Structure 1
Amino acid sequence: MNTLTLHYIYDPYCGWCYAAAPLVEIAAKHPHISIEMHGGGMLAGSARLHLDDDFRQYIMQSDKRIASMTRQVFGDEYIKMLHDPNLVMDSTPPQTAILAATKQGKGFEMLKAIQKAHYVAGRHINDTAVLFGLAQEIGLDLTQYTNDYAQCEQNETESHIQRSKALLAQSGSSGFPTLLIEQQEKWLRVPLQNYLGTPDKWQQFLDSMVSASA
């Protein structure tokens, strides 16, 4: 049976990407599906966010919806971090860490570790020291990670984000997360949002999609 490639457009700070994380993990573990990751830089560059009260309330309301729909955990330390008046969210450092981890075949594992660090432990995932600690936790060669991080930061992260944004625009979608399959030179959006909190139905959907592509 052929392998189906899903293109996952995400951001480390995207709450709905965290909501969809259990579904994406099921897809990543499917024997006939491969995942290509595209970090869209939601809060990168000029879009980096110094959290204000209005956006804080928006995030917290969204998090409540996600928790009720998916049972994903939002830790007390995360809630405390959201109330830090100096909190800045910048997608570039965690995206760089994911690209560096990808060099060792662990990009998806790094994204999972970053999401857990942010949403459960309330750690600052734009801090390179925190990211280094996560690299250690997931078992990366730390010397290689450090070298790859520096190289990606200088040469790869920005171009990766721009390519991901272009793919998002080409697909006709605009938000995160977006999961796409390319069929007959067209991009088809996989309806992740329809399966939030229903992993069994999602597994059945993936199986049917793989069968249809055979």
Structure 2
Amino acid sequence: MKKHKVTYYYDALCGWCYGFSPVIEKIYHKYKDMIDFEVVSGGLFLGDRVGAINDIAPYIKAGAYKTVEERTGTKFGEKFINESLEHNTMVLNSLPPAIALCVVKENYPEKEMAFAAMLHKAIYVDGVNPDDIANFSNYAQKLDINLDDFNTKIRDPKYVKIAKEEFATVASDGVRGYPATLLKNGEDRILLSNGYVDFEVLDHKLNQLI
């Protein structure tokens, strides 16, 4: 156990988290030998917020994804824009990707950060429907995660419970937006970022604190 730990509050369906993904990956690779990292899913689209993308989040098609592109330089994929978004075929539901991530976190912890980023790619580049958890199997396999094991575990109610506990943890931690990062050092908890920040900003702040 390392002295410091960075908690990354995230949602696989958060467009700004998708834009932030290259930043946190770069931070992770720079500091992973000094700091423990964890990804915690927030549950952005649950309950009555689950539904077709243009019905639940019309602001995305109205231009929000372009704002993310302009600010972060991260591009959304043609399949997402021209199929999922244009034809309103994607169902926003944060629970299935959170379950998949919980499976990876518990059983393949060294692949946690990579799989979190892979979920963004699946949804916002390849236009995969997040409402069907089976859609994430191919992405797990790309990280050399045992496919049979992954497919069995994503159907285990245990991971539904764990995912929902994560949502509750985020709420109790007082996180009000994503992406957010928090540095923990014993009892000290320092908010590093809340909302998108560039690598240089986060790197400077983290470097001063460790």
TM-score bin (small chain): 0.7 to 0.9
- Residues 55 and 27 of structure 1: CA distance in aligned 2, closer, same or farther (over 3 Å): same
Deviation at 1:40, TM superposition (A): 1.0
- Residues 184 and 136 of structure 1: CA distance in aligned 2, closer, same or farther (over 3 Å): closer
Following the alignment from structure 1 to structure 2, what is the Cα–Cα distance between the partners of residues 109 and 194?
A: 19
1:67 matched residue in structure 2: 69
Deviation at 1:33, TM superposition (A): 2.0
Following the alignment from structure 2 to structure 1, what is the Cα–Cα distance between the partners of residues 142 and 61?
A: 28
Q: Give the aligned CA root-mean-square deviation in angstroms.
A: 2.3
Range moving further from structure 2, 11-20 or 37-46: 37-46
- Residues 60 and 115 of structure 1: CA distance in aligned 2, closer, same or farther (over 3 Å): farther
User: What secondary structure sits across from 1:191 in the alignment?
Assistant: strand
Counterpart code for 2:72: T
Deviation at 1:10, TM superposition (A): 0.8
The answer as to whether partners of 1:20 and 1:192 remain within 8 angstroms in 2 is no
- Residues 194 and 112 of structure 1: CA distance in aligned 2, closer, same or farther (over 3 Å): closer
Question: Which 5+ residue runs of structure 1 have no aligned equivalent?
Answer: none
Deviation at 1:116, TM superposition (A): 0.8
User: What secondary structure sits across from 1:179 in the alignment?
Assistant: strand
The answer as to whether partners of 2:44 and 2:94 remain within 8 angstroms in 1 is yes
Residue 123 (1) aligns with residue 128 (2):
yes
The answer as to whether partners of 2:90 and 2:130 remain within 8 angstroms in 1 is no
2:98 matched residue in structure 1: 95
Deviation at 1:109, TM superposition (A): 1.6
Question: Which 5+ residue runs of structure 2 have no aligned equivalent?
Answer: none
Deviation at 1:183, TM superposition (A): 5.1
Deviation at 1:46, TM superposition (A): 3.5
- Residues 53 and 144 of structure 1: CA distance in aligned 2, closer, same or farther (over 3 Å): closer
- Residues 164 and 194 of structure 1: CA distance in aligned 2, closer, same or farther (over 3 Å): closer
Residue 160 (1) aligns with residue 170 (2):
no
Residue 137 (1) aligns with residue 142 (2):
yes
Range moving further from structure 2, 112-121 or 181-190: 181-190
- 5 Å matches for 1:1-214? 3-29=3-29, 30=31, 31-52=33-54, 55-80=57-82, 81-102=84-105, 103-105=107-109, 106-151=111-156, 152-167=158-173, 169=174, 173-182=175-184, 185-191=187-193, 193=195, 195-196=197-198, 199-210=199-210
Identity %: 21
The answer as to whether partners of 2:7 and 2:181 remain within 8 angstroms in 1 is yes
Aligned residue pair count: 203
Counterpart code for 2:38: E
Following the alignment from structure 1 to structure 2, what is the Cα–Cα distance between the partners of residues 183 and 88?
A: 38
Moved over 4 A (4+): none
